Amino acid sequence: MNSFTTVTAVAVPLDRADVDTDQIIPKQFLKRIERTGFGEFLFFDWRKEPGFILEEPHYAGAGILVAQRNFGCGSSREHAPWALEDYGFRAVIAPSFADIFRTNCTKIGLLPVQLTQEQVSDLMRQLAEIPGAPVTVSLEEQVVTAPNGARYPFEIAADVRERLLNGWDDISLTLAHEDAITAYESDRERDGPTTAPFLTADQV
């Protein structure tokens, strides 16, 4: 996974709430079996709308997306963060995120930054006044710096921050506790079904 320390980039104000992952990457692009190449299909249908903000020349090379509340709701498709990342985004700023989307982002090094509604509105206003203005997101300092120099601190779980700063892979971290998993399995073997009986009968 990419590490994330500090990013300064053009920020796109997407002034919409409840942006669902079906909009971020529509279903017809989920048939790929690769992890890359989704960026060109980001917001596929919205990009056909005249004047859609992502298509405006000011925002070429944008690296930060600013959106309204409940960003990333709906489907669990990790293809949504993959598409944002592949397009070039390194961070998404919003007043709130859907839980699965937020987790998916942090697993690939895309930083979800939660600010207050007032701060996001303020940021949106500045970005509308000076299209293409850069914003800085520092994970080290846990601060967003707006074009006018205003600094907005943000919260993030300490372990998630650590993992992102270092670009650590979750699976390796967990496998360091493999003994605990094995102990758990042998101590508690255990409730719940096993699918083993289905193995032979139904394997294609």
Question: 100 or 134: whose CB is closer to another protein?
Answer: 100
Query: Is 196 among the residues that bind another protein (CB under 8 A)?
Result: yes
Both tokens of residue 107?
A: 């697993």
Q: What is the DSSP string of 76-101?
A: --THHHHHHHHHT--EEEES-B-HHH
- Residue numbers 13-32 binding another protein by CB under 8 A: 15-18, 20, 22-23, 26-28, 30-32
In one-letter notation, the amino acid at residue 25 is I
With b meaning 16 or more CB within 10 Å and e meaning fewer, what string describes 9-32?
bbbbbbeeeebebebbbbeebeee
Question: 6 or 116: whose CB is closer to another protein?
Answer: 116
Question: 6 or 169: whose CB is closer to another protein?
Answer: 169
Both tokens of residue 90?
A: 């390194």
> Shortest approach of another protein to residue 204 CB, angstroms?
4
- Residues 41 and 82: beta-carbon distance below 8 Å: no
Residue numbers of the site for another protein (CB under 8 A)?
Answer: 15-18, 20, 22-23, 26-28, 30-35, 45, 68-70, 73-79, 81, 96-100, 103-104, 107-108, 157-159, 170-171, 173-175, 177-178, 180-181, 184-185, 188, 190-199, 202-204
